[in-house]
C-alpha cells in the first residue's frame, strides 16, 4: 500500500496549508469545485452511467442501483449542497470560551480543524461531494474510500473537484480518493495511527463491527437505527397516525425510519384499529398478543398482513415495510424497552402529558429524542447543517447528525507576560 502511505503524507502536508486559509479563501475553493462539477456534468453523468450499467449487469438490486444513480436533478442537489456549505459560518477560529486566571494569563478555547479524516462509504456518489465540502470548510484533509460500484462516478467527481480547487487557487491536495477499493486498503486506513485523526465508517453492521474491532485510529460509528415511537393515551390520535405513517413509509430504508411502535395499553383501542386500516396493504405489522387483539377487534382481518412478533423483531432494523407493535403498561416499560433494544439513534414520544414528555426525553438514551414529531427529521440537512457526514450513534466526540462541528476540535491558547508557576 505504498500509494496510500504517500497519500497520507500529502494529505497531511496539504492540510497544514488549508488550516491557515481564512474563510474567504476556503469558500472560493468550494465555489471553484462547485463550478467545475457543474461544468463537468456530462462527463460525470457518463461515468455514472458506466457504473450503473456495470452494477445492473452484475445483478445489483434496483433499490441499491437507485442509491448509485445520478441524474440532472441529483447533480443539481450536489451543486446546491456545496453552495450551502460555502454559505455557512466558518467553524474554525471560534473562541468557544475564554477567561483570565488570577495571575493575568488569558486562556482561550479556540476551535481548530480535527486534521485529516477518512470516510469509508457505500455507493452514493453525493457523499463524495458532501464529505469533501464539509472537510474543506472545516480545514481538514479528507481521504475518500468509496465503494467499487461507484468507482467511475467518484473518479469523475474528484477529478472535477481538484480541477476546480486548482483553478480557484485552492488546495487540491486536501482531498484524495483511494486508488483501489480493496479490503487491504481498509486495513491500512484502520491502522494509520498518527497519520489519520478519525475514520468515519458509513455502511452496514458488518463494516461498522469490523472497523470498531480493528481500528487503531479513533472512529465515529454511524450505526444502525432501530427507532421507536411510543404513544400515550393523551396523544392526538389523528396526528399520531400521520406521524407513524410518515416515520414508517416515507423512506423505509433510512436509518431514522421507525421500526417498533410501543403503545400504552390505554391508547391501544383509540390508535391501533385506525392505524392498521391506514397501513393495510402498505406495511406488515408484527404484533405482540395484546396488540394483535386490539387490531383484530377493530379491523377486518383480510385487509392486513398481521403476524406474531418474536423476540428478534424487537432487535431488528427492518429497513422495510414492516412495523413491530407492542403494548406496554407504562411509560417506564416503554423507556426500558427502548433503552434495551434501541440503537441510541432517534426515539419519539407522542403525548399531551408534559411530565411524560419530559421524563421520556430525559431517560431515553439516544442521540435524538422527539416529542410529537416524526423520527425522519434526524438528518444534517433537515437540522440545517448543510450536509452531513453521517449520524453518530456514539456518545464520544460527536452525537447525532454530523456536520462541520464534528470535524473540529479545540486548542487552548494561553497568552502571558512572563508568568511562572509558584
What is the contact surface with a second copy in residues (CB under 8 A)? 16, 19-20, 99, 101, 105, 107, 114-115, 193, 197-198, 212-213, 216, 218, 236, 239, 242-243, 245-247, 250, 361-363, 365-374, 376-378, 382-384, 394-397, 399-400, 409-421
How far CA 247 is from CA of 67, 222, 262, in Å, comes to 20, 20, 14
Here the contacts of 7-12 (C-beta below 8 Å, separation 24 or greater) are 7/143, 7/176, 7/178, 7/179, 8/116, 8/143, 8/192, 8/195, 8/196, 9/195, 10/173, 10/176, 11/116, 11/141, 11/142, 11/143, 11/173, 11/174, 11/176, 12/115, 12/116, 12/141, 12/195
Q: How far is the CB of 412 from a second copy (least distance, A)?
A: 4
* Residue nearer to a second copy on the CB measure, 193 or 205: 193
* Residue nearer to a second copy on the CB measure, 24 or 42: 24
Taking alpha carbons only, the member of 171, 182, 178 closest to residue 196 is 178
* Residue nearer to a second copy on the CB measure, 35 or 353: 353
* Residue nearer to a second copy on the CB measure, 164 or 225: 225
How far CA 27 is from CA of 136, 274, 404, 405, in Å, comes to 9, 51, 14, 17
Cell of 39: 461544468
Phi-psi region of 397 (alpha: psi -120 to 50; beta: other; left: phi over 0): left
Q: How far is the CB of 218 from a second copy (least distance, A)?
A: 4
* Residue nearer to a second copy on the CB measure, 157 or 245: 245
**Cβ–Cβ < 8 Å for 306, 277:** no
Q: Tally Cβ neighbours within 10 Å of residue 43.
A: 14
* Residue nearer to a second copy on the CB measure, 81 or 403: 403
- Residue 28: alpha-carbon gap to chain centroid: 26
The alpha carbon torsion through 157, 162, 163, 169 (nearest 10 deg) reads 150
Q: How far is the CB of 398 from a second copy (least distance, A)?
A: 9
* Residue nearer to a second copy on the CB measure, 31 or 191: 191
Cell of 351: 403525548
Q: How far is the CB of 219 from a second copy (least distance, A)?
A: 9
Q: How far is the CB of 242 from a second copy (least distance, A)?
A: 6
Q: How far is the CB of 383 from a second copy (least distance, A)?
A: 6
Q: How far is the CB of 366 from a second copy (least distance, A)?
A: 7
Amino acid at each position: 500500500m505504498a500509494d496510500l502511505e504517500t497519500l497520507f503524507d500529502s494529505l497531511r502536508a496539504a492540510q497544514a496549508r488549508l488550516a491557515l486559509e481564512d474563510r474567504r479563501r476556503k469558500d472560493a475553493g468550494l465555489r471553484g469545485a462547485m463550478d467545475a462539477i457543474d461544468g463537468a456534468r456530462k462527463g460525470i453523468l457518463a461515468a455514472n452511467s458506466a457504473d450503473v450499467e456495470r452494477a445492473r449487469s452484475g445483478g445489483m438490486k434496483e433499490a441499491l442501483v437507485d442509491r448509485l444513480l445520478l441524474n440532472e436533478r441529483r447533480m443539481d442537489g450536489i451543486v446546491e449542497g456545496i453552495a450551502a456549505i460555502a454559505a455557512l459560518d466558518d467553524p474554525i477560529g471560534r473562541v468557544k470560551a475564554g477567561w483570565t486566571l488570577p495571575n493575568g494569563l488569558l486562556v482561550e478555547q479556540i476551535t481548530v480543524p480535527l486534521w485529516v479524516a477518512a470516510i469509508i462509504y457505500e455507493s452514493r456518489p453525493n457523499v463524495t461531494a458532501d464529505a469533501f465540502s464539509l472537510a474543506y470548510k472545516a480545514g481538514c484533509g479528507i481521504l475518500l474510500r468509496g465503494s467499487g460500484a461507484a468507482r467511475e462516478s467518484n473518479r469523475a467527481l474528484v477529478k472535477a473537484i481538484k480541477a476546480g480547487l486548482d483553478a480557484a487557487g485552492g488546495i487540491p491536495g486536501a482531498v484524495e480518493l483511494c486508488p483501489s477499493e480493496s479490503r487491504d486498503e481498509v486495513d491500512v486506513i484502520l491502522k494509520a495511527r498518527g497519520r489519520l485523526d478519525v475514520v468515519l465508517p458509513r455502511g452496514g453492521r458488518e463494516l461498522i463491527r469490523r472497523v470498531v474491532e480493528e481500528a487503531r485510529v479513533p472512529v465515529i460509528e454511524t450505526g444502525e437505527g432501530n427507532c421507536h415511537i411510543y404513544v400515550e393515551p393523551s396523544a392526538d390520535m389523528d396526528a399520531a397516525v400521520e406521524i407513524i405513517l410518515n416515520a414508517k413509509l416515507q423512506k423505509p430504508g433510512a436509518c431514522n425510519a421507525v421500526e417498533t411502535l410501543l403503545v400504552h395499553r390505554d391508547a391501544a383501542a383509540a390508535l391501533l384499529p385506525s392505524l392498521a386500516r391506514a397501513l393495510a396493504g402498505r406495511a406488515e405489522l408484527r404484533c405482540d398478543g395484546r396488540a394483535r387483539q386490539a387490531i383484530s377487534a377493530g379491523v377486518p382481518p383480510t385487509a392486513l398482513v398481521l403476524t406474531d412478533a418474536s423476540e428478534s423483531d424487537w432487535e431488528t432494523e427492518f429497513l422495510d415495510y414492516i412495523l413491530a407493535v407492542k403494548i406496554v403498561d407504562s411509560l417506564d416499560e416503554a423507556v426500558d424497552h427502548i433503552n434495551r433494544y434501541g440503537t441510541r439513534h432517534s426515539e419519539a414520544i407522542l403525548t399531551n402529558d408534559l411530565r411524560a414528555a419530559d421524563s421520556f426525553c430525559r431517560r431515553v438514551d439516544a442521540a435524538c429524542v422527539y416529542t410529537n414529531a416524526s423520527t425522519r427529521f434526524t438528518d444534517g440537512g433537515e437540522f440545517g447543517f448543510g450536509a452531513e457526514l453521517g449520524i453518530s450513534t456514539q456518545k464520544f466526540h460527536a452525537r447525532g447528525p454530523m456536520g462541520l462541528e464534528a470535524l473540529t476540535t479545540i486548542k487552548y491558547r494561553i497568552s502571558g507576560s512572563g508568568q511562572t508557576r509558584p
